[in-house]
Amino acid sequence: MARTVLVLGGTGEARRLAEVLAAVPELRVVTSLAGRVSSPHLPPGEVRIGGFDGVEGLAAWLRAEGVDVVVDATHPFAARITASAVTATSRLGIPLLVLQRPGWRESDGDDWRWVGSVSDAAELLPSVGRRALLTVGRQELAPFTRLSDMWLLARSIEQPDLPVRAVLARGPFTVESELALLREHDIDVVVTKDSGGDDAKLVAARRLAIPVVIVRRPSPPAVTVVSTVDQAANRVI
């Protein structure tokens, strides 16, 4: 009988993990996507789109689908679904594995300003620069709309709901394209979240001596955390 694996997705690692697991005949792989992007890149296997309505909804779904293991491969800042997964799997006695790419580490030439939240980033921003590129996600832009003296450019996959200047693009990006974007708009500060992994905009900012305001990621949950797709696949298979 096939074992059922739920992958809480939305990241490149989640898609790659689904590809690896879907190739294993004895596994049924279901990837859950939050549905915040209208045209997501769909992974192989079954796909479920939409939220679970909290711990109770997730627990009920896990029970009804006979899920044997859950892999949380969501964005490092998706703290709500991660917390729900921890509680629901613990309640049902289902193994939970978190796949989370390592956080960023500064290199020579970086000018990084770490903050605890997006609101803190908005508060700090006017003291760092005047023309900012915001890559914090389209749902996190509200604190910046009060900065009337700043020139702001938000980058997101889809148009933000707020009336902000935006460039719509889906990564991954190259260092050359990031350099071109920063130069085209005369950006003098970048605001982002510590999503981890290789990030071209950080390299571009370093080359142009542009400071970067970075929101620290939440602490990982007290469960098994791995940093690569291979590590996750080996534990599931």
What is the spatial distance between Cα 114 and Cα 122, in angstroms, rounded to a whole number?
A: 12
Strand partners, 112: 212
Peptide bond into 43 cis (omega under 30): no
**Side-chain-facing half-sphere of 234: CA atoms under 13 Å:** 6
Q: Which of these, 199, 160, 204, lies nearest to 185 by C-alpha position?
A: 204
- For 137: left if phi > 0, alpha if psi spans -120 to 50, otherwise beta; the answer is left
- Using DSSP's 3-state secondary structure scheme, residue 190 falls into strand
Q: What is the pLDDT of residues 189-226, one digit of tens each?
A: 999 999 998 899 999 999 999 999 999 998 888 899 99
Q: What is the pLDDT of residues 51-93, one digit of tens each?
A: 898 999 999 999 999 999 999 999 999 999 999 999 999 999 9
Tell me whether residue 223 is exposed, middle or buried, using C-beta atoms within 10 angstroms of its C-beta: 0 to 12, 13 to 18, 19 or more.
middle
Kindly report the number of other CB atoms within 10 A of residue 217's CB atom: 17
Confidence of residue 40 (pLDDT cuts 50, 70, 90): confident
pTM: 0.87
- At residue 38, the pLDDT reads 60
Determine the length of the chain.
237
Task: Name the least confident of 29-43, 116-130, 171-185.
Answer: 29-43
- At residue 1, the pLDDT reads 66
4 φ, ψ to 5°? -100, 125
Both tokens assigned to 32: 């859950």
Both tokens assigned to 17: 């993990």
Confidence of residue 100 (pLDDT cuts 50, 70, 90): very high
Both tokens assigned to 158: 């889809």
| 174 Cα distance to chain centroid | 18
- At residue 81, the pLDDT reads 93
Q: Out of 22-31, 32-41, 162-171, give the one with best mean pLDDT.
A: 22-31
